[in-house]
Amino acid sequence: MPTNFADRLNIAVREKQSCTVVGIDPRLSQLPAPILERHPNAFGDLAVAADAYREFGCRIAELVAPLVPAVKPQIAFFERLGPAGMAAYADICAAARKLGLLVIADVKRSDIGSTAQAYSDAFLGPVDGGQAGFETDAVTVNAYLGSDGVRPFIEAAKANGKGLFILVRTSNPSAGEFQDLKHEGKVVFEHVAQKVKEWGKEVVGESGYSSVGAVVGATYPEEAAVLRALMPQTPFLVPGYGAQGGGAEDVRPSFNGDGLGAIVNASRSIIFAYSREPWKQKFGETEWEEAVVAATREMNEELKPLVS
């Protein structure tokens, strides 16, 4: 009997005393030299580039596994490399899960019901009785198509102990263009939040949280406070910390006061920490791994008051 995803997440947050999610978003030009040197021709050959991503992503997972509850590999960067990139993606997800990390596939998929079922199978399984094509613990989902496009993911959450995070308020500058349109006194993202809350009631775990979560950007703290009040049982996946500009104060409204309620993602500021201050000065490019660990520890420290 698989445990509820929200319960698994909350246990991991408590155990690690960390709400940090490390985003695995490789970009070829930013990979540290020691990785690139082992993969000559990575810039001209997608399969070689995918090998470099695989090594980098698996190493990131090893480095952060003792420190954080979850990683969030962003599939777009792997898709960019074609089929070889997708194979690397699957391998990194599998390696991270083997290390005891929860893996959130950042895929932002959306489609009509029968097609959404295929996406759900792909990441939340099972496929034909066996393992999913890309077995992970949770996915991000875009709900523009409404309930029938979300339903298969909810069913997988119930049947397989998986989770989903539905885009409510995204972290990007143009997020408000459609999300802020106002209908009967509530903006679109509040209407989405209302549905997320309803859908979530079906998959509430022993910790009181649902396996149907919400993506709520760190870059809009006021909206986060409104959403936190609206959806008390919904776990928030909070992107936008670090490179996108959000800080510890910006993510505070996403928490519930019980040390739970939100997990906070940082990608570039951790995985490429070696190329950014203060780590750049402290660690050389050959010590990129130490920089990853140091940046992760620092983020844990910054957010510690929120999880304890």
Instruction: Extract the tokens encoding 280.
Output: 């750049």
Nearer of residues 48 and 293 to a copy of itself, judged by Cβ? 48
Structural contact between residues 235 and 187, judged by C-beta atoms closer than 8 angstroms: no
Conformational region of residue 299, where left means phi above 0, alpha means psi within -120 to 50, and beta covers everything else: alpha
Total of chain residues touching a copy of itself, rule CB under 8 A: 66
Q: Which of 16, 72, 98, 108 is catalytic?
A: 108
CB of 52 to a copy of itself, least distance (A): 12
Tally Cβ neighbours within 10 Å of residue 121: 17
Longest dimension (CA), the chain: 58
Interface with a copy of itself (CB under 8 A), residue from 69, 73, 85, 213? 85
> Distance between CA atoms of 41 and 67, rounded to whole angstroms?
33
Q: Is 206 in the site for a copy of itself (CB under 8 A)?
A: no
Where does the chain show beta strands of DSSP type E?
Answer: 20-24, 70-73, 102-109, 138-141, 163-169, 182-183, 186-187, 212-216, 236-238, 262-266
- Give Cα 43 distance to the centre of its chain: 27
Site string for a copy of itself, 171-200 (x = CB under 8 A): xxxxxxxxx-xxx----x--xx--x-----
In a 13 Å sphere around the CA of 200, the CA atoms on its Cβ side amount to 28
Contact stretch for a copy of itself (CB under 8 A) within 7-15, 71-79, 223-231, 281-289? 71-79
Q: Is 136 in the site for a copy of itself (CB under 8 A)?
A: no
Contact stretch for a copy of itself (CB under 8 A) within 57-65, 73-81, 257-265, 292-300? 73-81
> Distance between CA atoms of 6 and 85, rounded to whole angstroms?
29
Q: Is 144 in the site for a copy of itself (CB under 8 A)?
A: yes
Which contiguous run of DSSP H or E holds residue 55?
helix 46-64
Specify whether 304 is catalytic: no
Interface with a copy of itself (CB under 8 A), residue from 17, 30, 115, 256? 115
Site string for a copy of itself, 22-61 (x = CB under 8 A): ---x--x--------------xx-x--x------------
Structural contact between residues 211 and 203, judged by C-beta atoms closer than 8 angstroms: yes
> Using CB under 8 A, which residues numbered 259 to 298 contact a copy of itself?
none
Name the residues annotated as catalytic. Answer: 108
Contact set with a copy of itself (CB under 8 A): 25, 28, 43-44, 46, 49, 74, 76-77, 79-83, 85-87, 89-90, 108-113, 115-116, 118-119, 121-122, 127-130, 132-134, 142-149, 167, 170-179, 181-183, 188, 191-192, 195, 239, 244
